[in-house]
Amino acid sequence: MKKKTNNSQNALPLVDAAWASSRFSRNGRGVRRAGSGIGVAGIPPVELHWKNKSLRLIAGDDDRYEWVEPSDYRVSEVRLLHKQSSIEARDSAEENLLIRGDALQALSSLTRLDSYRSRYAGQVKVCYIDPPFNTGEKFAHYHDALDDSVWLSMMRETLIEVRGLLAPEGSVWVHLDDSEQHHGRCLLDEVFGPEAFVATIIWQKRTSRDNRKAFSSMHDYIHVYAPMGPISWKQLRNALPDDGAFSNPDDDPRGPWRSVPLTAQDGHATTAQFYSIKSPAGVVHDPPPGRCWTYSKERFQGLVAEGRVYWPKNGSGKPRLKRFKTEVKGLAPFTIWTAEEVGDNSIAKKDILQLFPGQVAFDTPKPELLMERILHIASDPGELVLDCFVGSGTTAAVAHKMKRRWIAVEQSADTIARFTLPRLKAVVEGTDGIGITPTMNWEGGGGFTLLDVAPSMFRVDSSGVQLSEWATGGLLAEATAAQLRYEYKPSGVFSGKRNATRLVVVDGLVNEDVIRALVNELSNDELLDVAATQIAEGARDALENFSPGSRLSKIPDDILRSYDRATRLGELLGSSGPVVVTSGGPKRSPRRNARPTSKGTSKLSR
């Protein structure tokens, strides 16, 4: 019999796309700690407000979003990730994931499914986010028009999920254009804290002029945030290569060098930095107006003694410092990246058309050179890269060639089938031949796993929230284990284990006889967490008698109630989403009857 629950789906309307407004509000003063986004007494110093901000977004199968209350079961439900295939060459594919499905659901699963959380939560070194720009235009492969409130909530919730995957020393790079970049910066401040801001990069996306508009836009914005703050992050990030000319005209045994000026601006100079210098040819030099010598006289004389000073013009010119190639640690990146340096949209389109002749290319693909620079600065080989709007697969392709591990998420099954999957297969096989392949001498290797975000284990009918038709047998056990925060590891009658507690999922009736048999499967000092679709009268009393402290719960009713508890706790703690609760499981109590000895003591078959 289907039992009506108190967790029925809220009958909220679909998004009203005609509404679009947002405003700033200043909510008091305070200083946010980097990465927290919270000011005095839990109030952000500056907060962006929009319609339905207190609600949550649920993605539908038709690419539409629906507003729901935070207590809606779909907000708390942990979706399974079902393996579809593995593409491998010479190495294992386990570490690289291509996930087909909604970004919010995929990211949530990575942080809340035990089997993935242990491998990926807190491990992402760089997350590149190239979301829908919300330009209002309809492109060949997607419609880039969302209600402002939908876009804001979608981005905020994505950033919150990314925060749970990001390593402490990681960074987030959010790529936007003029349509939403101002809102994006505010959201990043809110989620990570303004002290996490590092820079905004201007990327030249085109070199041709568009005379149809008032101004011809030729750039995008990439906001860079690092939770540890820009000063600490600078010590860890990689500088750009210094490709300046070095030579060794005097056969210095210390190797090639180049000369740099020995003067500096005098704004913070001391009196020790103002003096006259006589060159080997007898010419006296003083610092130019507004400048001083870089070093004191004593330090300068020491450099002369060390052979570190170069005198141009046959010994009559101003002294310059010899800087050896071995001393150069690289260059700080500029915040303006030109098409000549890192490519533009047109170069990326040509690459896509070369790889997929006859296909209609994406309108705004990103060049591999751009991604190579981002990944070079923000990560090292072997570290984890995340892109939750991967599109045609540029980020994953570049990460693979640069020997980074990667996670890529794409909602469109059509895009994955036509572009992402075949492109990444070509990278693994070493046959793509585009982008950075020649410069990296990439010949193939590695692999990846294709996963699908599973459909909901629940459905709604006139009686309330019920189990979906597919949620039976082993699939029900796997889905239930995910909701109860167990790693799904079938072993005999058990579906998982957490500490000293064994999980059992029964698709059917649990009565006293079943309880006896299950308790007999336990080792000493173990507890049971039994979840069943039907529970007979007296079964709970039997479990308490045979295994005190163990738990028997009803599917789906008790799972839905656990969602409510997590949501209420999240609201109490000021969390933006449900709090992961595992303390509601069995608790150890003195065992009154270690093993049942009456009827039904035979063990269940394995």
pLDDT at 207 over 50: yes
Q: Determine the average pLDDT of the residues in 143-169.
A: 88
Question: What pLDDT shows up at residue 243?
Answer: 80
pLDDT of residue 399: 98
Count of alpha carbons within 13 angstroms of residue 170, beta-carbon side: 24
pLDDT of residue 576: 59
Q: What pLDDT was estimated at residue 145?
A: 55
Largest Cα–Cα separation, the chain: 111
396 is written with which tokens? Answer: 């994953």
pLDDT at 593 over 90: no
What pLDDT, on the 0 to 100 scale, is given for residue 364?
78
pLDDT digits (tens, 9 = 90+) for 99-149: 999 999 999 999 999 989 989 999 999 999 999 866 454 434 444 457 889
Q: Is the pLDDT of residue 528 over 70?
A: yes
Residue 46 pLDDT grade (very low, low, confident, very high; cuts 50, 70, 90): confident
The yes-or-no verdict on residue 1 having pLDDT over 70 is no
Distance between CA atoms of 301 and 9, rounded to whole angstroms? 80
- The burial class, CB within 10 Å (0-12 / 13-18 / 19+), for 196 is buried
The two three-digit tokens of residue 229, written as one number: 């703050």
Range with top average pLDDT, 17-21, 264-268, 306-310, 594-598: 306-310
pLDDT in tens, 535-545: 999 999 999 99
CATH 1.25.40.10 fits 80-212+221-237+333-453, yes or no: no
Task: Name the 3-class secondary structure at 32.
Answer: coil
**Helix 394-401 crosses helix 421-429 at what angle (to 10 degrees)?**
10
Residue 129: strand pairing partners:
174
Domain ranges of the chain: 80-212+221-237+333-453, 263-318, 471-573
pLDDT at 329: 86
Tokens representing 351 are: 């690459």
Check pLDDT > 90 for residue 359: no
Q: What is the pLDDT of residue 575?
A: 60
Please tell me which of 86-90, 431-435, 583-587 the model is most confident about, judged by mean pLDDT: 431-435
Q: What is the pLDDT of residue 591?
A: 43
Least confident interval from 89-93, 322-326, 340-344, 469-473: 89-93
Average pLDDT score over residue span 181-189: 95
Q: Could you read off the pLDDT of 307-345 as tens digits, one per residue?
A: 999 999 999 999 999 999 999 889 999 999 999 999 999
Residue 107 contacts residue 165 (beta carbons within 8 Å): yes
Lowest mean pLDDT across 32-41, 127-136, 350-359, 533-542: 32-41
pLDDT in the model for residue 288: 95
Hey, what are 309's tokens?
Answer: 């000073």
Q: What is the CATH number of domain 471-573?
A: 3.40.1350
- β-strand partners of 501: 498, 527
Interval 26-33 mean pLDDT: 35
pLDDT score of 222: 98
Q: What is the mean pLDDT of the chain?
A: 86
| Burial readout 8-46 (b: 16 or more C-beta within 10 A, e: otherwise) | bbeeeeebeeeeeeeeeeeeeeeebebbebbbeeeebbe
CA distances from 220 to 341, 363, 598 (A): 15, 14, 74
pLDDT at 362: 73
Amino acid type, 471 = A
Q: Decide: 246 and 269 in contact? Cβ < 8 Å.
A: no
Percent of the chain clearing pLDDT 70 (strictly above): 83
Burial class (CB in 10 A: 0-12, 13-18, 19+), 504: buried
DSSP code of residue 331: B
How crowded is residue 539: how many other Cβ atoms within 10 Å of its Cβ?
20
For the ranges 106-110, 354-358, 511-515, 518-522, the lowest mean pLDDT is seen at: 354-358
Q: Is the pLDDT of residue 48 over 60?
A: yes
- Determine the 3-state secondary structure of 159 from DSSP: helix
Cross-strand partners of 171: 126
454 pLDDT higher than 50: yes
Confidence (pLDDT) at 12: 39
pLDDT in the model for residue 147? 81
* Separation of CA 445 from chain center: 24
Alpha helix (H) ranges present in 367-420? Answer: 368-378, 394-401, 413-415
- State the pLDDT at residue 141: 41
CB of 279 closer than 8 Å to CB of 285: yes
